Amino acid sequence: MKDQISEKIKNIANSIFPQLVKLRREFHQYPELAFEEFETAERITRELKKLKLQLKTGIAKTGVMGVLYGDKKGRTVALRADMDALPVTEQTNLPYKSKNKGKMHACGHDMHMACVIGAATVLSRMKNELPGNVKFIFQPSEEVGPGGALFMIMAGALKNPEVKGIFGLHTEPSIPVGIMGVKQGAMMAHTNYFNLTITGKGGHGARPHQGVDAIMVAAQVIQALQTIASRKTDPLVPVVLSIGKIEGGTASNVICDKVVLRGTVRTLHKKVNEDIPKMIKNIVSGVTRSAGADFVLDYRRGYPVLINDPWMTDLAREAISKLYSKKAVHEIEHPVMGGEDFAYYLQKVPGTFMRVGVRNPKVKAVYPWHHPKFNVDEKAIGIGTAVLSQCVFDFLSHCK
């Protein structure tokens, strides 16, 4: 029966592949930023209405949710897709490139939506064999903290019916198309952000001794902060602290009185994540005090560590193997220091987050996430659709 289910899933996924490609290209042409995904949500809603799902819209402003009730009673599992694009100006020559100036699906969320809609279509056509229910969650604002997942959960996305497990996927431009990546345990990092304002004393550039140069202090602070990773934390515990933006100064002959540093901190370790704000304060306090400057630190917690459930990851691994053989499974060895708000769902219910390979030099799908030339091999849409559908069947079959 499982082999028959797998063959049926693949056949339906293959039959709807052209319409999923068309849908993905439509999403790609009209990208919308975080919490502005109104047209995207409307387009998703139209597709889900065709499937006669129980629908709810306007969740967390632009979120959409559909529920498919299988003919056989059972538990409920969820599939999630993110909807938002990035403030990136597209530099591809694709015929369906972005028509919304300064906005682009440069991370593959257009493909994620197509895969989940594809899975909803496959599973709807197999409703009479479905041993439970499926909730399809389309959430806003994955790219911008505090993230749409948190608001979707607060709005009841995992309730009525109660979700017992969840699956998600993300494009991976380093993995060839036809391959899916899996990893149990910690997969993505804590993501925190900070604004650090350093205040000195202005003056004439020819008389620096009469002022306190905030730029000079900021330079010392930037160097000193790197000792957090190199000297103040266990070298076997990964930590990234990056300053991404510096604002300060008015003229070449004026001693700067204020500098703002904007940065991010990434780690996989809970205790280190809790301790880093204090480390930053201690370091900055020492540097600024010795220079006669002051500072204010605004430190904001971001997404938690994304931790994949071992059993759910095994289930996903097996689903990929059933459909495309064991050679289609890529074991991801190390976590990445990027963040993902799918982590919030995994704090509530067991689940796993997969990588779907999209790399293919022949179609110039070689660029990293957030690059203005980011592209995908669209064959991955059919693969993602089938794998998500198989994961649903296998989860519900094991959890009667």
Q: Largest Cα–Cα distance in the chain?
A: 84
Instruction: Determine which one of 303, 324, 344, 345 is catalytic.
Output: 303
| Candidates 32, 47, 340, 378; catalytic one | 378
Q: Is 162 a catalytic residue?
A: no
Active site (annotated) includes residue 344: no
Strands (E), the chain: 54-59, 63-69, 76-82, 133-139, 163-176, 180-182, 185-188, 190-199, 203-204, 239-248, 254-255, 258-267, 294-300, 306-308, 329-331, 351-359
**CB 399: neighbour CB atoms within 10 A?**
14
Cα Rg of the chain, angstroms? 24
- Rounded distance between C-alpha atoms, residue 390 and residue 142, angstroms: 25
Give the tokens for residue 9. 């899933």
Q: Rounded to whole angstroms, how far apart are CA atoms 199 and 216?
A: 11
Q: How far apart are CA 152 and CA 196, in angstroms?
A: 31
Q: What are phi and psi of 23, to 5 degrees?
A: -65, -45
Q: Which residues of 309-325 are buried (b: 16+ CB within 10 A; e: fewer)?
A: beebbebbbbbbbbbbe
| Catalytic (active-site) positions | 303, 378
